[in-house]
Each structure stands twice: as C-alpha cells, then as structure tokens.
Structure 1
Amino acid sequence: MAVQSEGTPCWADAMFTDLEGAKRFYGEVLGWTFGESSSEYGNYTQAYADDKAVAAIVPPMPGQEGQSQWCLYFASPDADATAGKIRENGGEVLMGPMRVSDFGTMVIAREPSGAVFGVWQGDTHEGFEATATPGAYCWAEVLTREPEKTDAFLSGVFPYRMKEMADEHIDFRLFDVGADAVLGRMRMGEEFPPEVPSYVSVYFTVDDCDAAVARATEGGAVLRFGPMTSPFGRFAALTDPQGAHFSVIDITTAEGETPRFKDA
C-alpha cells in the first residue's frame, strides 16, 4: 500500500475508558475484530474489518480521562514541518511530534475553531489497509462554528484546493488533494447544542445503514441525525455509549442529484 498524499486522511483512533465495552459496541455495529493490546504502547489495540487494519482504540493515559472522541489523522511527509505550519496558521500542537517506534511519527493538534485532529508520518505503519468497504473508514467532515478560521487554517497547513457548494443556503466546502476530494467542512448550525464543540466527524462504511443504526441504538448509542439518503449514500450520525461521535454510510444506496461545487 502506497503512502497517502499529504493532507489525505490516513488513520483514525479513539480513547475509551471502557476498552472492552468499545470492543463489544464496534464489534457489533461495524463487525470489527481486534488484535492483541500492546502494553508497550499503552494497550493500543488495532481494529480489523475482513482482516484489514481500519482503526484503533486505546484507554486514556492517566490525566487524560474525559469524553471519548474519534481522532482522524492526516498524512504528512514531514511531521515536524507540519507541526510548524499548524502553529504558524493559528493552531495548537497538543502532543508531539513524537516518534512511535518504527511505525511512524505522530502529532495531535487543535485547529483554531477547536476541532482536534492528528498528523501521521507513516513508516512501517502507513495507515488504513482498507477504505470504503464495510467496516472501514470512508469519509470525514470538520464540523465547525467558525468556518472562516477553519478554512484558512486547513488550506494553510495542507496543499488543499477548496471548493464550495454552489448553494447560498448551505455553508459546505470540499478540500481536494489533486483530483480527489478528501475532506468536507460544514458550518455547525442551531441543530447542534451549544455545548457541542467543533469536531471531526468520521464516517465508517456499512452495507445497510438502517440495520447498523438499529444495532448501534440497541447497544446504547444515541441517534443524532438520519438515516437519510443522499447522492453519496444513505447515512446517519450517532454518538456511541461513551460519548464519541461517528457516522455510518452505505455508499451503495444513493439517490438524488450530485450537488454542484465551484472553486472557493
């Protein structure tokens, strides 16, 4: 598998106080199986879909306990240089750059509107072994209350070309790497409670959105939006039992006209 182009989402992980509970929940909802926990790396545990590494879960380090959340990592050829760009563009480096054995180098950061994300300079661990297949990562969107800050930051840190939806009633942008759209950005409206901060919404692929939602809610998740059929697939947004937001999407079930975008 080739190393992803700079700025492309390449990995996702989340901290869970109840690691076994997270295994049960995501195993049931997404069909994940799990590798052995690595005590050398804080019981970091990889998740697999059809024997392909698709994400990881880990218990919080002492002092980092709090609401669980998914962290999306963006590929970088030079994590130190990217950390510098994060600071130069008004972001905050929360951790790193930190070498993780021979796996790669990581950075955890916060963009100016508050969404936390990661940077990964892959070595032996290049990232997702599968995408856009059931159980695997498919898409992500930055949900922000201050889109102007987020747009300027992301385009300053990564080599993105921005496109905006050609609909004055919807504040949504795409970020392209080359010819490929790799990330979305949506303004958070009144439908989001004021206590919900800006965050990155990670989408995982499922073969039946409604069935996945049923499994999730039966397992203690809260349905936040959907299921809804769109030109990109049928999707729903959820909050898992430990408070982590995520979305599921069936990319084979799509309806409607694809929205038009123009250069921003």
Structure 2
Amino acid sequence: MAAFPEGAPCWVDASLPDLEAGKRFYGGLFGWTFDEGSPDFGYYTQALSDGKKVAGLAPVMEGQEGTPPAWGVYFASRDIAETAEKIRANGGMTLMGPMEVGDLGSMLIAKDPGDAVFGVWQPGTHKGFDRQYQPGSFGWVEICVRETGGVDAFYPAVFSYEVQPVGDQNFDFSIWKLEGQPVAGRFKLGDDIPADVPPHAMVYFVVANCDDAIASVQKLGGKLRTGPRDSPYGRFAIVADQQGATFSVIDPRTTAGQA
C-alpha cells in the first residue's frame, strides 16, 4: 500500500490492564481476530479485520499500573528525529523515544501544549493500517483539549496541516487537512464536559449501524457515554469498553444536516 503522508493518522492502539479481556470485548464488537503478541515487544497484540491490520492492543507496561485504559493515535512521519525536534520547538514535549521497535519502525510518544498525548510512527516493515474507513476499522480521530491557543499553532507547525474552522462559539471545532483532504480534527472540550475528563485523542471506529454497535457494547459489558447523535458526517456515539477505555463508533452512511 502507499505510504501514509506526513501527519496522517496511520495507527491506533489501546493500553489495557487486562489484554485477554480486551480481546474478548473487541473481538465480540468488531469481529476482530488477533495475532500472538511477542514477549520481545511486551505482548503487544495486533487486531485484524478479515486478516487486515486495523489496530493494536497492549497490556499496561510494568511500572505504569493504575494508568487509566485509553485509546491513542499515531501520526505518520518520514523522519521521526526531525518530528521530535519540531514537537519540542513548538511547545510540545516528548515523553518516550524516539526509539526503534525492531525492524517494524520507530516511534515516539508526545504531549501537545494542551496536554493531549499522541504518538508518531516512522514505518519500517509495519506500514500502519491495512484497512480503514470500513466497518470494523479506523474512521477518524479528534484531538480534544480545553486550551486551544497553543494547540492550534502546534499541529500545523509540526505536520503542515491546513486548518479549516467549522464550528462556532458553542462548538469549537477545526478540521486538519493534508493536500486538501480531511485527516483529523481538533475539538475544544466545553464547560458541559466534566472537569475530570482529561485532554485526549478520541478515536472513531466505523460500524455498519450505530445503534446496533451501542447494543453490542452494552451486552459485552461496556458503557454508553454520549449519544447516539446524528451529524453531517454520520450517526455516532461515544462509548467505553468494559475496562473504561473510551472511543467512538460511527456509521458514516447515516447522515443528517449540512457539513
């Protein structure tokens, strides 16, 4: 497959305290199967949809017990050392790496000026998603923060995004584009969002039917957080797995209103 352009979301993964429980949940929800994680890589496990790589599940690393379960996103980089320099030069912070992951590629984990954590991936043999924008795979990601000033300058400086504001005073949202194509977004957490919700990356997975997916989440022990809601981009809901990792499900074929 073609390489992901610089700054495009190229991978997502979840850090979970109970890997086997995570496999049962997401296997039941999306029909994923899983490879056998290697002890050399901390039993990091790839999720497959019809044999195509779509996401990763990782057990919480030793020394990080108690870290809340969470989904995260990785943005593509052609030169991860250069990307790390841009992150630091524009008010961000590198938390881990850059580091090589065998022959798979190189990664780093960083924090933006609004305290949202994200990853960067320079591919080796692991190029990123084999499948996206189809049921059971990645569909979209939003960086959700409370303070937007530094963030709105940071990401275009690091990844050369074109920024398209699409919200208003009650809905502060921007779309990031590469070569004119939307790849991700920035959402400002409003006063209606509980104060204990930290800045984060909200990962969306495509489903064939949003309401059916919500029912499956609940049957598998997860929770409905918000929604379902109709939008010009699809019917979606924010949910959480049975360990508390939050994500969204969206049916992009069921739309309402004008974008």
Residue 80 (structure 2) pairs with residue 79 (structure 1): yes
Instruction: Quote the offset at 1:49 in angstroms.
Output: 1.0
**Structure-2 separation of matches of 1:39 and 1:60:** 13
Instruction: Quote the offset at 1:128 in angstroms.
Output: 0.2
Residue 253 of structure 1 aligns to a residue whose secondary structure is coil
Deviations along 1:102-135, whole A, 9 cap, x unmatched? 1110000111111110000011111000001111
**Structure-2 separation of matches of 1:216 and 1:69:** 16
Q: Would you say the 8 A contact 2:167–2:174 is kept in 1?
A: no
Q: Would you say the 8 A contact 2:94–2:111 is kept in 1?
A: yes
Match of 1:24 in 2: 24
Match of 2:163 in 1: 162
**Structure-2 separation of matches of 1:158 and 1:52:** 27
Residue 35 (structure 2) pairs with residue 35 (structure 1): yes
Match of 1:59 in 2: 59
Residue 47 of structure 1 aligns to a residue whose secondary structure is strand
Residue 146 (structure 2) pairs with residue 151 (structure 1): no
Instruction: Quote the offset at 1:255 in angstroms.
Output: 1.8
Residue 126 of structure 1 aligns to a residue whose secondary structure is coil
Instruction: Quote the offset at 1:166 in angstroms.
Output: 5.7
**Structure-1 separation of matches of 2:251 and 2:90:** 36
Alignment length (residue pairs): 258
Deviations along 1:59-79, whole A, 9 cap, x unmatched? 121111211111100000000
* Counterpart residue identity of residue 61, structure 1: M
Residue 257 of structure 1 aligns to a residue whose secondary structure is coil
Instruction: Quote the offset at 1:163 in angstroms.
Output: 0.9
Q: Would you say the 8 A contact 1:49–1:134 is kept in 2?
A: no
Match of 1:262 in 2: none
Residue 238 of structure 1 aligns to a residue whose secondary structure is strand
Matches within 5 A, 1:181-200: 181-200=182-201
TM-score (norm 1): 0.95
Match of 1:255 in 2: 256
TM-score (norm 2): 0.97
Residue 25 of structure 1 aligns to a residue whose secondary structure is helix
**Structure-1 separation of matches of 2:72 and 2:169:** 30
Instruction: Quote the offset at 1:167 in angstroms.
Output: 3.4
Deviations along 1:13-50, whole A, 9 cap, x unmatched? 11111001101111111111111111111001000111
* Counterpart residue identity of residue 60, structure 1: V
Residue 128 of structure 1 aligns to a residue whose secondary structure is coil
1:115 to 1:166, Cα distance in 2 relative to 1, 3 A? closer
Deviations along 1:155-197, whole A, 9 cap, x unmatched? 1111111110163432110111111111111110122111111
**Runs of 5+ unmatched residues, structure 1:** 259-264
Residue 232 of structure 1 aligns to a residue whose secondary structure is coil
Match of 1:138 in 2: 139
* Counterpart residue identity of residue 134, structure 1: P
Match of 2:49 in 1: 49
Match of 1:219 in 2: 220
* Counterpart residue identity of residue 174, structure 1: I
**Structure-2 separation of matches of 1:31 and 1:191:** 34
Q: Would you say the 8 A contact 2:234–2:253 is kept in 1?
A: yes
**Structure-2 separation of matches of 1:167 and 1:60:** 38
Residue 230 of structure 1 aligns to a residue whose secondary structure is coil
Q: Would you say the 8 A contact 2:54–2:131 is kept in 1?
A: yes
Q: Would you say the 8 A contact 2:162–2:180 is kept in 1?
A: no
* Counterpart residue identity of residue 58, structure 1: A
**Structure-2 separation of matches of 1:157 and 1:243:** 31
* Counterpart residue identity of residue 127, structure 2: E
**Structure-1 separation of matches of 2:49 and 2:192:** 33
Residue 193 of structure 1 aligns to a residue whose secondary structure is coil
Q: Percent identity?
A: 49
Residue 87 of structure 1 aligns to a residue whose secondary structure is helix
* Counterpart residue identity of residue 225, structure 1: T
More divergent stretch after superposition (124-133 vs 158-167): 158-167
Match of 1:101 in 2: 102
**Structure-2 separation of matches of 1:245 and 1:78:** 30
